[in-house]
Amino acid sequence: MFRTSLAIEPLCSVCSKYEYEERLLEQILSNELAMKNTLNKITETHKQVEDSLKAITSSGLTVGRWLRDREVPGSNPA
């Protein structure tokens, strides 16, 4: 009925803490870089949309009319 349990402690408990923090920091930096790239893509797309809308309105068309003019014949808009 007696149990003996042995736990092996890391040789360097401070090292494991630093390793954990280093991995965590690497993940945070990786996520930050991915978010910056995503933000840049969103900003780029937003600028393209704004430029397109300016071009449409400067030509005297409304957005709805511009879209109707570009419909593919035979397609069923939803």
Domains in the chain: boundaries:
13-46
Q: Is the pTM of this model over 0.85?
A: no
The dihedral through the CA atoms of 48, 49, 53, 59 has a sign that is positive
Residue spans of alpha helices (H) in 1-78 = 13-58, 63-69
Mean pLDDT estimate for the chain: 80
More confident site: 62 or 51:
51
**Residue 57, pLDDT above cutoff 60:** yes
Quote the DSSP letter at residue 59: T
More confident site: 73 or 44:
44
**What average pLDDT score do residues 5-30 get?**
76
What does each C-alpha distance from 31 to 16, 23, 25, 34 come to in angstroms? 23, 12, 10, 5
Share of the chain above pLDDT 70, in %: 72
